[in-house]
Amino acid sequence: MEAADPRRGLAVIAKQVAGCHDCPLYKGATNPVPGEGSATAEIMFVGEGPGFYEDKQGRPFVGASGKFLDELLASIRLDRKSVFITNVVKHRPPNNRDPQPDEIAACKQYLDAQIELVAPAVVVTLGRHSMQRYFPGEAIGRVHGQPRRKDDLIVVPMYHPAAALHQQTLRQVIEADFARLPDFLAKLRGEPAARTEVPPQLRREAAAAAPDAGSGTAAATAAESDAQQMRLL
């Protein structure tokens, strides 16, 4: 049997999303936002849901958080054309509220199909709602930046870029987590490290800034992360 063409398959999914009425989100949306990027991307980024600008343009991460995501990609020599970006829900929740469990469940079929078609080496979840898809009950402040195996996927939970816009100290945390991605990919390919080690000062600042990790835990996690992260795979 001939292998499916991922680009054609992604286009089919986009059409299905455009006509989807499986949850009420479509009623208040201007445009569906199925996702975009390379059909053969090594990294797939999964956010939470489209916002105001994403809804207007029908594209993921084009607002202020999207600009920060573009900066983060550039910092590791990537761009939108080399990755795939999507969300756990494909229509904008009203007033940018959090997506509800039933809405996430309704969109699950589309995200599952996108992951199967693209077959990324790494899935990066952006925000706690996308993280909960793989690690329910986990705290993002404890596991951010750490690659973990979930079934057949390698998943790296990260804070949503918007978090840095609302809490400036998290910018250093997100930048440090992104800086490790090239090394994760190199190790998965069996190649030498990509030489993108996080500077010690940035690592210390990121550890100090990370919330929800408990007293002393963030510093210990940052100090040991390079040795521990790939052991989780």
- The pair phi, psi for residue 180, each rounded to 5°, is -85, -15
DSSP code at position 180 = T
Q: 52-66, 153-167, 214-228: lowest mean pLDDT where?
A: 214-228
Tell me which residue has tokens 């040795």. Answer: 227
Q: 81-95, 161-175, 204-218: lowest mean pLDDT where?
A: 204-218
**Span 21-40, average pLDDT:** 97
Selection from 54, 56, 63 nearest residue 36 by Cα: 54
177 touches 125 (CB < 8 A):
no
- Residue 157 falls in which region: left (phi positive, over 0), alpha (psi -120 to 50) or beta: beta
217 touches 142 (CB < 8 A):
yes
Selection from 75, 67, 88, 47 nearest residue 180 by Cα: 75
Concatenate the DSSP letters of all residues of 57-110 into one string: HT-SS-SHHHHHHHHHHHHTT--GGGSEEEESSSSPPGGGPPPPHHHHHHHHHH
Residue 165, both tokens: 């816009």
Higher pLDDT, 167 or 14: 14
Residue 203, both tokens: 């690592």
Q: What pLDDT is recorded for position 61?
A: 97
Lay out the sheet containing 153-158: strands in order across.
Answer: 36-37, 84-87, 43-47, 122-126, 153-158, 148-150
Q: What pLDDT is recorded for position 152?
A: 87
Q: What pLDDT is recorded for position 3?
A: 55
For 77-110, write each residue's pLDDT tens digit: 999 999 999 999 999 999 999 999 999 999 999 9
For 35-68, write each residue's pLDDT tens digit: 999 999 999 999 999 999 999 999 999 999 999 9
Q: What pLDDT is recorded for position 168?
A: 87
Q: Name residues whose C-beta falls within 8 Å of residue 157's C-beta, 6 or more positions apart in sequence.
A: 124, 125, 131, 134, 135, 138, 140, 143, 144, 145, 146, 148
Q: What pLDDT is recorded for position 211?
A: 54
Tell me how crowded residue 108 is: count the other CB atoms within 10 A of its CB. 14
Q: How many residues are recorded in the chain? A: 233
**Mean pLDDT in the chain?**
86
Selection from 3, 29, 5, 2 nearest residue 17 by Cα: 29
pTM for this one?
0.83
Residue 83, both tokens: 């990755």
135 touches 124 (CB < 8 A):
no
Distance CA 80, CA 66 (A): 10
User: What domains lie within the chain, and their CATH numbers?
Assistant: 21-232 (3.40.470.10)
Q: What pLDDT is recorded for position 201?
A: 52
